[in-house]
Amino acid sequence: MVTDHAPIETPPRAPSPVHGFGTLAVHVGSDHDPTTGAVIAPISLSTTFAQSAVGQPIGAFEYARSSNPNRENLEKCIASLEKAKYALAFSSGSATTAIILQSLAAGSHVVSVSDVYGGTHRYFTQVASAHGVRVTFTPSIEVDIEELIMPETKLIWIETPSNPTLSLVDIRAVANIAHRSGIMVVVDNTFLSPYIQNPLEHGADLVTKYINGHSDVIMGATAFNSDALYERLKFLQNAIGAVPSAFDCWLAHRGVKTLHLRARQASQNASMVAHALEESIHVIAVNYPGSNSHKQRKIAIKQHRDGLGGGMLSFRIKGGKPAAERFCQATQIFTLAESLGGVESLVEVPASMTHMGIPKEQREAAGVFDDLVRLSCGVEDGVDLVADIRQALEKVVVATKVTNGLANGNGHPMSNV
């Protein structure tokens, strides 16, 4: 950073809400460089910053673990998009989860929806317990919450839409009850991004993949309004040091500038694909919050921007696990890979990939069957994605007939072509 660069306010203030999402995405945290006029900020690779006297840094920075210009720019931008006072970025979504959990005192209790991201489940069950934080999972949080809250309950963890079954939670219904008892609510907003859902009025908010959206950065961020929470999480960000690199922050900041365009296109594509799957005789059921067939469609209409469904969906394919696996290999545009939220479309089988670590019984209770296929729709042309899904379904049906005869090993009836 140059010496005459205007000092960046810390902590950042929520920007005026007069501008729309796209304007904020493009401009917040993206001031022109005051010395060179560069429209795009340079990547500030320096780990340390000069001081004019002992303990008096020239600018707003001292050491890059504590803060870095690119990270600050990105955090400001994310805060504005989440309509939050603060945002903090971490080296991954998992690090964000870990630091939020770490901020709780030993002996604290957490209530979580059961259908959470696999890594979140692993952290809750295998790591949080080591520092004395206990987590209770519930498949029906809106109904059970009052019963599950104990004097030690400090945090409610919601993921909506959930991964990979896309079930929704009415955030306000849960937050009303939690906030009455002074309990913080965290919403993992990974599947929708702040463009489609702003859970913030109700508590903290955790976002990962869509912000960058180009499948080339691992990062997580959390946005919130509480000054006390800012002090605590900022302290832990520095003390634990799970911080993203300047380059990753620069890339994610570049990516977030098109979040609104990507989120709209991905939602449109996912709706087209969901519709095609619903019409297919090779499909048992489709989970997509943008479809009228979704059992919680009303929540999506209330909670999502314009009732959009986002780019993620999942479906159960006829023919069991073998059919699900063959489907993923038969697609030509959808790449078989974990992760989501990028410009390119991806396909995976959660039971055998992202959610393999969850015991089968628990997994199936949450709707994650061996024949469940998850799709992350990118921003390609929707008609091409639909054609790809259709040709892959046809290929699977032909292959199933040849190898399995009339029925498959899982007892699902064979689909008739």
Ligand X SMILES: *Cc1c(COP(=O)(O)O)cnc(C)c1O
Site residues for ligand X per CB under 6 A: 92-94, 117, 119-120, 159, 163, 188, 190, 208-209, 218, 220
DSSP states of 87-106 as a string? EEEESSHHHHHHHHHHTSPT
DSSP states of 337-390 as a string? -S---SSS-EEE-GGGTTTTTS-HHHHHHTT--TTEEEEE--SS-HHHHHHHHH
- Say how far apart CA 388 and CA 27 lie, in whole Å: 37
CB of 107 to ligand X, least distance (A): 25
Q: Which of 157, 55, 79, 52 is nearest to 115 (CA)?
A: 157
Cβ proximity to ligand X, 65 vs 122, nearer residue: 122
* Tokens read off for 139: 């498949």
- Catalytic residue at 134? no
Q: Which of 183, 127, 131, 121 is nearest to 152 (CA)?
A: 183
CB of 211 to ligand X, least distance (A): 11
How many helices (DSSP H) and strands (DSSP E) are in the chain?
A: 14, 14
Task: Give the number of C-alpha atoms closer than 13 A to the C-alpha of residue 376, restricted to the C-beta side.
Answer: 28
Task: Give the number of C-alpha atoms closer than 13 A to the C-alpha of residue 71, restricted to the C-beta side.
Answer: 30
Q: Are strands 283-287 and 153-159 parallel, antiparallel or unpaired?
A: unpaired
Cβ proximity to ligand X, 8 vs 200, nearer residue: 200
Spot the catalytic one: 71, 85, 115, 188: 188
Q: Which of 108, 79, 71, 70 is nearest to 15 (CA)?
A: 79
Cβ proximity to ligand X, 83 vs 374, nearer residue: 374
* Tokens read off for 408: 């498959």
Cβ proximity to ligand X, 96 vs 415, nearer residue: 96
Q: Are strands 312-317 and 153-159 parallel, antiparallel or unpaired?
A: unpaired
- Say how far apart CA 341 and CA 17 lie, in whole Å: 26
Cβ proximity to ligand X, 118 vs 382, nearer residue: 118
- Catalytic residue at 230? no
Cβ proximity to ligand X, 128 vs 397, nearer residue: 128
CB of 370 to ligand X, least distance (A): 20
Beta-bridge partners for 314: 287, 374
- Say how far apart CA 241 and CA 395 lie, in whole Å: 48
Residue nearest to ligand X (CB): 93
Cβ proximity to ligand X, 92 vs 245, nearer residue: 92
- Catalytic residue at 209? yes
CB of 118 to ligand X, least distance (A): 8
Q: Which of 161, 163, 116, 170 is nearest to 142 (CA)?
A: 170
Spot the catalytic one: 71, 76, 85, 209: 209
Cβ proximity to ligand X, 73 vs 94, nearer residue: 94
- Catalytic residue at 295? no
Phi and psi at residue 7, to the nearest 5°: -60, 140
CB of 52 to ligand X, least distance (A): 38
CB of 162 to ligand X, least distance (A): 8
Spot the catalytic one: 83, 86, 117, 205: 117
Q: Could you tell me the strand order of the sheet in which 153-159 lies?
A: 86-90, 220-224, 204-207, 184-188, 153-159, 109-113, 134-138
CB of 210 to ligand X, least distance (A): 10
* Tokens read off for 186: 């965290």
DSSP 124: I
CB of 254 to ligand X, least distance (A): 18
Residue 355 contacts residue 368 (beta carbons within 8 Å): yes
DSSP 71: H
Give the angle subtended at the CA of 397 by the CAs of 358 and 267, to the nearest 5°: 60
User: Active-site residues: which are they?
Assistant: 65, 117, 188, 209
